[in-house]
Amino acid sequence: MKKKQLNLIRPLTSLELRNIYESAHFHKRLIAFFLDGFILLTFNALFQAIIKILTPLYPHVLLENLHVFSTSLILFLNLIYFQMLTYRTGQTLGKKIVKIRIVSTYTSEMSFFQSWIRTLGYFISFFSFGIGFLSSLWEKDKKCWHDIVAGTEVIDLEHHYQNENLDYQNEILKIQNKLLPRRMTG
């Protein structure tokens, strides 16, 4: 029995997306960040509740070690949430809801290393009293410090540059988003 093969259009590269869509504004990025925070807060609270339920069942485990372990695990899983979703799809769940996407500034696809640098760069933006996040208000390309360090940019999928090929480009993008995953895995 022969398998049916589909002739699919290749996915647009990050460079092509940056030529179609404008940089995301601060307010959209902030909303996405709060949505991600709410999602992670819910997950973290659920995880902590499960730990509290299981603790009496295993009294031989030292409670202080359990607390350190669970806190470390939560921090690690939160980092993985941002890093893996950024790498695989260019969007966390919050960014997907507000229709913004992270793309590489210099290459056609964001690398695994680039997404890790960007995720860890959140600490730079945060521990500078938030100035790293606010920098998107005055930076030319609306980049935060973690975008600059990682070589990434956040684009707004609802706002695009006006040009004569826009209808054609949007139709290609719609078809590709329906038919192809963001990153093919082998």
For the chain, residues with pLDDT lower than 50 are 1, 3-8, 184-186
Q: Please list, in sequence order, all residues whose beta carbon lies within 8 angstroms of the beta carbon of residue 39, skipping any fewer than 6 positions away.
A: 93, 94
Q: What is the pLDDT of residues 4-57, one digit of tens each?
A: 444 445 566 667 777 778 888 888 989 999 999 999 999 888 888 887 777 666
Contact (CB, 8 A) for 32 and 101: no
Contact (CB, 8 A) for 122 and 146: yes
Answer whether residue 56 is part of any domain. Answer: yes
Alpha-carbon distance of 127 to 156, in angstroms, equals 26
Answer whether residue 178 is part of any domain. Answer: no
- The pTM assigned to this predicted structure is 0.71
Answer whether residue 175 is part of any domain. Answer: no
**Domains held by the chain: number:** 1
Answer whether residue 40 is part of any domain. Answer: yes
Q: Residue 87's domain spans which residues?
A: 18-159
Angle at 95 between CA 93 and CA 97, to 5 degrees: 70
Q: In this structure, is the dihedral angle defined by the CA atoms of residues 114, 120, 123 and 124, taken in order, positive or negative?
A: negative
